[in-house]
Structure 1
Amino acid sequence: MLVAAAVCPCPPLLVPEVAAGAAPELDGLRAACDEALTTLLAAAPELIWVVGPGPEHKLYDRGGVGGFQGFGVELAVSLGAGDAGETLPASLAVGAWLLERAGWQGETRGLAVADYLEWELCRENGLELAGSAERVGLLVLGDGSARRTLKAPGYLDERAEPFDAAVAAGLAKGELPPLDAELAFELMASGRAPWQVLAGATGTTEQPVGSARLLYDDAPYGVGYFVASWS
């Protein structure tokens, strides 16, 4: 049963060593992620699933290893015991780093979801994850639109801000309705599928989300970043 979830963005710049001189710019975001992870761990899950965007739909049921060497930083991370034969996508590597930063040493598995994954499949994935142990925690990773400003990675799209505002409102309420997959793709919102997995996971509980808090909602660098805590 799902007992708690933390929602965080997954830019590698979250890792101070990667951000280097720009690291202080995201101190507020890191603090919000730390708070969400503290709440997640306080719920005493016996298993944490890290769910994030990836190039393919793939399960890391024996953990995996990753790092930030592609950004010039010799920093390695792992999910759980780590399976050297499984290389984590960037989003799950950031998730592994967040868990290590929070001091989590319990059982951990990963799920990468591709941006093409339809709502119904996301929902089914969420149901399966929530039913995988008596007390399940989720760390859900993904970014909002990367088209919030003229200097954003995808340039400005006027649809970006309303899309992100709807996501933020859903995270604050603990209710995420199905999101338009085509629109999310056009807006370069990598979090759409992971967020829908989270929405599906809540369907296994007999009660609605008891507590939902939106801890961060901003668009540094023109990309929507959200941090939320559900329990």
Structure 2
Amino acid sequence: MLVAAAVCPCPPLLVPEVAAGAAPELDAARAACLDALGVLAAARPELLVLVGPGDGRAAGTRAVNGRGTFRGVGVDLDVTLGDAPEEGAAAGRPPLPQSLAVGAWLLGRARWAGAPVEGLAVGVRTDAEECETAGRALARRAGRVALLVMGDGSACRTLKAPGYLDERAAAFDARAAAALGAADLEALTSLDMTLADELQAAGRAPWQLLAGAARGAGLTGRLLYEDAPYGVGYTVAVWS
């Protein structure tokens, strides 16, 4: 059963070594993420599942663990999720999706020493029904399950945003943030996949998986952070 969840954004810029001189701009977001992880630890889960959007345009879910890296964004920094294989065994294995690498970095920053951690990548084209089904299955994995859900909102909030300016983006992000802050399962489930895709909101599928996992759990939500630095919607929320 799901006993707690934390929702965090997943830009590589959350990692100070990646952000370099711009690191202070996301200090508030980092602090909120660490506070959210504290809520997960306090729930004393038996299993923590790190969920985030997969790289690319696939649909469906897949279990992932092992090593992630930020070398693709110019920083010689690696992270590990779960029981990483030895160097030789890992040679042919793809690295963690970037969202889960950021999540693994957060867990390391928080010095997570609680329940075992597993990773799950969710394809950005996974529809709401499949997300809900996967979430319900996760909630049955142990008596006390917690989720760390990584995902960004729209990437179209300003002219300089990665997806340029889209007038629909602010309303989409406001609706998503309100739903995450209130643990509103129906509002999350009703987020439109096509609109989310057009706005490059990769968090839509992981958020809908969270909604499925929370069915019947009776959790309440709290919004810790909401902003759109760099024109991308970032939200931090906790459910407990």
Query: TM-score band (shorter)?
Result: over 0.9
Map Cα deviations across residues 104-128 of structure 1 (whole Å, 9 max, x no partner). 1331111111111011100000001
Q: Which residue of 1 aligns with 2:76?
A: 74
- Which secondary structure does the structure 2 equivalent of 1:7 belong to? strand
Q: TM-score, normalised by structure 2?
A: 0.91
The residue matched to 2:214 in structure 1 has which SS? helix
Q: Which runs of structure 1 show a deviation greater than 4 angstroms over 4 or more consecutive aligned residues?
A: none
1:124-162 CA-to-partner distances (Å, cap 9, x unmatched) read 000011111111110001100000111111111111011
Query: 1:51 Cα deviation (Å)?
Result: 0.6
- Alignment equivalent of 1:200, drawn from 196, 205, 212: 212
AA of the residue aligned to 2:95: T
Q: By how many angstroms is 1:59 displaced? A: 2.4
Distance, in Å, in 2 between the alignment partners of 1:86 and 1:125 is: 23
For residue 221 of structure 1, what is the aligned residue in structure 2? 230
Mapping 1:92-111, distance limit 5 Å: 92-105=100-113, 106-111=115-120
CA distance in 2, matches of 1:118, 1:161: 22
- Partner of 1:203, secondary structure, is coil
SS at match of 2:215: helix
Identity of aligned residues (%): 62
> Can you list the C-alpha shifts for 1:63-114, whole angstroms capped at 9, x where unaligned?
2210101122111111122243352100000011111111113311111111
Q: In structure 2, list runs of 5 or more residues that go unmatched.
A: none
Partner of 1:119: 128
The answer as to 2:191 corresponding to 1:158 is no
Q: What is the total number of aligned residue pairs between the two structures?
A: 227
The correspondence for 1:183, drawn from 195, 204, 219, is 195
| CA root-mean-square deviation | 1.3
How far apart are the structure 2 equivalents of 1:92 and 1:76? 12
Bigger mean CA offset, 137-146 vs 104-113: 104-113
List alignment gaps of at least 5 residues for structure 1: none
1:21-42 deviations in whole A, cap 9, x for unaligned? 1111110110010100111111
For residue 127 of structure 1, what is the amino acid of its counterpart? R
| Alpha-carbon distance in structure 2 between the residues aligned to 1:199 and 1:18 | 31
Could you state the TM-score of these two structures normalised by the residue count of structure 1? 0.94
**Paired AA for residue 150 in structure 2:** L
Whole-Å separation in 1 of the counterparts to 2:62 and 2:123: 12
Distance 2:70 2:211 in 1: 30
| 2:183 corresponding residue in structure 1 | 174
